[in-house]
Amino acid sequence: MGQKVLAMINGENDLQLVAVFNPVAKSQDPADYDLDSSVKVYNDYSQIDVDADIWIDFSIPSAVFDNTKFAIEHNIKPVIGTSGMSEDQIAELKKLADDKKLGGIIASNFGVSAVLMMKFAQVAAKYFDHSEILEFHHEDKLDAPSGTAMNTAKLIHDVQQKDQVNNKNEQDKIGARGGDYHGIKIHAVRLPGFVADEEVVFGGQGETLTIKQSTTDRNSFMKGVRIAITEVMKRDELVVGLEKII
């Protein structure tokens, strides 16, 4: 994702890459990463001294909270695509940014099709009392369930305002029924061949509804990242979810 973001920035006339940060980078020579000589390379927070408007983060779950907090504290608007933060961490970051009137976004998914899927699921949640979520990702994804799946479950629960009821006599001996968010079952698949797919299945008396989204190329996320970059420059608060601005 980082490589896709770099390519997108370099392809836009109104965007300029001024610096990159990676704590495990051994070299600080931009030429070693095929970057322009004007780009600064940092491997420690203490080194960062740059005039930047936007901090784009596609890192790892264990680093994203500290990265985002650093950006906000230094008045750099965060555009965060890394999932894995807790609700408490996101709430802390939102308060920090909102108190500073700093625009930003934390999005579980920058795919426009995924965002529309979540919006459609919100609409369906008004008419169905039961739903399950299946998400499919590549074998190297670190967090499970995905941020998109968790956000979808939260959006459904926000609409329904009650826990979904499951069979109380059910016997799951090996965890086959998946994770549980307020009664919404979430199933995470990790296999080679997938990039990022999700299905939301709603069940009602005599009918089912499946809303499905598939991502076959990470380049598709760049449309959402570009929308987010433009939007956060106009805002004075941290937005959680690309669906809030599409």
- Could you read off the pLDDT of 103-116 as tens digits, one per residue? 999 998 898 999 99
Predicted confidence at residue 246, as pLDDT, reads 83
Which residue has better confidence, 206 or 151? 206
Predicted confidence at residue 84, as pLDDT, reads 84
Predicted confidence at residue 108, as pLDDT, reads 80
pLDDT band at 201 (very low <50, low <70, confident <90, very high): very high
Both 118 and 188 in a single domain? Answer: yes
Q: Can you state the percent helix, strand and coil of the chain, rounding each to 5?
A: 35, 25, 40
In the predicted structure, residue 52 carries a pLDDT above the cut 90: yes
Both 208 and 223 in a single domain? Answer: no
Q: Model pTM?
A: 0.76
Predicted confidence at residue 2, as pLDDT, reads 86
Catalytic positions: 137, 141
Both 102 and 223 in a single domain? Answer: yes
Both 71 and 100 in a single domain? Answer: yes
In total, how many domains does the chain have? 2
Tokens describing residue 12: 């836009």
Mean per-residue pLDDT of the chain: 95
Mean of pLDDT values over 9-33: 95
Both 189 and 117 in a single domain? Answer: yes
Both 86 and 15 in a single domain? Answer: yes
Both 102 and 6 in a single domain? Answer: yes
Predicted confidence at residue 227, as pLDDT, reads 94
Predicted confidence at residue 88, as pLDDT, reads 96
Domain around 87: 2-106+219-244
The C-alpha angle 25, 28, 29, rounded to 5 degrees, equals 125
Predicted confidence at residue 202, as pLDDT, reads 98
In the predicted structure, residue 245 carries a pLDDT above the cut 90: no
Q: Where are the beta strands (DSSP E) in 38-181?
A: 40-42, 54-57, 77-80, 104-106, 130-137, 179-181
Mean of pLDDT values over 50-55: 96
CATH number at residue 155: 3.30.360.10
Both 90 and 135 in a single domain? Answer: no
pLDDT band at 62 (very low <50, low <70, confident <90, very high): very high
Instruction: Say if residue 61 is preceded by a cis peptide, omega within 30 of 0.
Output: no
In the predicted structure, residue 147 carries a pLDDT above the cut 90: no
Nearest to 58 by CA among 9, 119, 113: 9
- Spatial separation of the C-alpha atoms in residues 63 and 226, rounded to whole Å: 23
Both 136 and 226 in a single domain? Answer: no
Tokens describing residue 242: 């690309």
pLDDT digits (tens, 9 = 90+) for 84-102: 899 999 999 999 999 999 9
CATH number at residue 236: 3.40.50.720
Predicted confidence at residue 183, as pLDDT, reads 97
pLDDT band at 243 (very low <50, low <70, confident <90, very high): confident
Name beta bridge partners: 211.
Answer: 200
Distances (CA, A) of 42 to 24, 28, 66: 10, 6, 15
